């Protein structure tokens, strides 16, 4: 096992800069996800860690050792890509054994190592079959077995689940996480799917346009986003213009019309530098449409109009008119959902909001 470090890493393709000055510290044994929209530089970072691409500037360290000049086959990495590329004319066991061929593994040990890897991915009986005789999900497990059979220092996974259909993808999330925890290998996982990232990661690195926007636990990036981009990439958020009227070690007070004064805890106001213009960030899940008679006692409330209603299975998304602003609320569907045109009260708890400077 090993940590992975990127120091001031830049990658340019001709004049285009795909990765700008990335600094990243991935601790030994952690499951860290690079999350961001298509084209933001996730794969480029992964390929530089793998040794498939040279950084234009900066250092890459694995286990504290600089590896810029170490070729891919000497980095001891397990790699799985989206199109898992098993060899069609080799059996599953031959596919898994492939990675061991070029290493100093005594021939007599190979069958046991292959079998152990197949057991780890819970496919102990398919060694003699060919890839095309397996389902997509099974093939992906074989690709994973091939990556881990070498006992890599680091596992690099580039959107490994995106070719699978939705149900299988959710099963494989759990499965992949179980395997990673069992062998404890440092893992860098790339995805554009925020629910995948939130479900699986110890730390999420949110990227946009070649830059890191935020790195933190799923809870941190979800509840205390560092920017409007992060607030909206991890689901819908409301950004409300506000004035910061107090800012100290106990937290900040934001004046947000028409709700009034909102007391934000210090750790969720740490990005404010002083008083003056600011933004209140409120996730759509944290804004509630209140039923008549519901007091919303511990909430800050305001009147609003339901402009549109979008049913989404267990939840409903309301588009709400509040003066000149439109807000979104995602609420659990109960037996009395509101209809378009309804005049309602909306409310939220100050502890659920966070604060950002104006952009
Ligand atoms: P992601 O994996 O986040 O979707 P990539 O890392 O693949 O993004 O790409 C980041 C940016 O770099 C994109 O704009 C892409 O078009 C560009 N890019 C990637 N590889 C090359 C290349 N070999 N030559 C030129 N541009 C590239
Ligand atoms: Mg990619």
Three-state secondary structure along 308-359? EEEEECCEEEEEEEECCEEEEEEEECCCCCCCCCCEEEEEECHHHCEEEECC
Percent of the chain with pLDDT over 70: 100
Residue nearest to atom 6 of ligand 1 (CA): 41
The structure's pTM equals 0.93
Q: Is 277 in the pocket of ligand 1 (CB under 6 A)?
A: no
Q: What is the DSSP letter of 74?
A: G
Cβ of residue 191 lying under 6 Å from some atom of ligand 1: no
Distance from Cα 43 to the centre of ligand 1, integer Å? 7
Which of the listed ranges 115-124, 169-178, 329-338 does the model predict with the highest average pLDDT?
115-124
- Does pLDDT of 295 surpass 80? no
Residue from 39, 46, 50, 193 whose mutation best tests the ligand 1 pocket (most atoms within 8 A of CB): 39
Distance of CA 327 to the CA centre of its chain: 25
Does domain 236-357 fall under CATH 2.40.50.140? My reply is yes
Tokens of 17: 């800069």
Q: Give the containing element (helix H, strand E) for 189.
A: strand 186-191
Q: What is the pLDDT of residue 84?
A: 66
The whole-chain average pLDDT of the chain stands at: 94
Rg (CA), the chain: 24
Among the atoms of ligand 1, which is closest to the Cα of residue 36?
3
* Edge-to-edge strand ranges of the sheet holding 57-62: 16-26, 4-13, 57-62, 65-66
Residue 67 has pLDDT above 80, yes or no: yes
DSSP state of 29: T
Closest atom, ligand 1, to C-alpha of 40: 3
Binding site membership of 43 for ligand 1 (Cβ less than 6 Å) = yes
Please report, for the chain, the start and end positions of each structural domain, with discontinuous segments joined by +: 4-223, 236-357
ipTM, 2 dp: 0.99
Q: What is the C-alpha to C-alpha distance for residues 358 and 242, in angstroms, rounded to an integer?
A: 9
Q: Is 327 within 8 Å of 346 (Cβ atoms)? A: yes
- In this prediction, residues 122-133 reach a mean pLDDT of 95
pLDDT at 251: 94
Within 10 angstroms of residue 332's Cβ, the number of other Cβ atoms is 10
Q: Which residues contact 296 (CB under 8 A, 6 or more apart)?
A: 288, 290, 345, 347
The predicted pLDDT at position 115 comes to: 97
Segment holding 173, helix H or strand E: helix 166-183
Side-chain half-sphere exposure of 241, counting CA atoms within 13 A: 6
CATH of the domain spanning 4-223, picked from 3.10.310.10, 3.40.50.300, 3.30.930.10, 3.40.50.2300:
3.40.50.300
Residue having the nearest C-alpha atom to atom 22 of ligand 1: 13
């Amino acid at each position: 096992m090993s940590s992975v470090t990127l120091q001031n890493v830049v990658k340019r393709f001709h004049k285009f800069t795909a990765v700008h000055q990335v600094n990243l510290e991935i601790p030994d044994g952690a499951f860290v996800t690079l999350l961001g929209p298509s084209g933001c530089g996730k794969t480029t970072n992964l390929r530089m860690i793998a040794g498939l691409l040279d950084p234009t500037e900066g250092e890459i360290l694995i286990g504290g050792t600089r590896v810029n000049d170490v070729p891919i086959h000497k980095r001891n990495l397990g790699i799985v890509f989206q199109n898992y590329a098993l060899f069609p004319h080799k059996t599953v066991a031959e596919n898994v054994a492939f990675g061991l061929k070029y290493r100093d593994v005594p021939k007599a040990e190979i069958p046991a190592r292959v079998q152990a890897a197949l057991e780890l991915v819970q496919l102990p009986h398919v060694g003699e079959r060919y890839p095309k005789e397996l389902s997509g999900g099974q093939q992906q497990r074989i690709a994973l077995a091939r990556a881990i059979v070498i006992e890599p220092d680091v596992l690099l996974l580039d959107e490994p689940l995106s070719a699978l259909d939705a149900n299988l993808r959710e099963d494989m999330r759990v499965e992949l996480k179980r395997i990673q925890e069992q062998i404890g290998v440092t893992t860098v996982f790339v995805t554009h799917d925020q629910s995948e990232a939130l479900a699986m990661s110890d730390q999420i690195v949110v990227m946009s346009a070649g830059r890191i926007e935020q790195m933190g636990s799923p809870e941190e990036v979800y509840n205390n986003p560092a920017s409007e981009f992060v607030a909206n990439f991890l689901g819908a958020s409301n950004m409300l213009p506000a004035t910061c009227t107090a800012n100290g070690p106990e937290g900040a007070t934001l004046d947000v019309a028409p709700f009034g004064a909102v007391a934000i805890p210090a750790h969720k106001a740490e990005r404010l530098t002083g008083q003056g213009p600011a933004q209140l960030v409120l996730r759509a899940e944290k804004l509630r449409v209140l039923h008549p008679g519901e007091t919303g006692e511990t909430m800050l409330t305001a009147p609003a109009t339901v402009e549109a209603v979008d049913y989404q299975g267990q939840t409903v998304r309301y588009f709400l008119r509040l003066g000149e602003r439109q807000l979104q609320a995602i609420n659990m569907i109960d037996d009395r959902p509101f209809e378009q045109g309804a005049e309602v009260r909306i409310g939220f708890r100050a502890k659920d909001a966070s604060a950002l400077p104006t952009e």
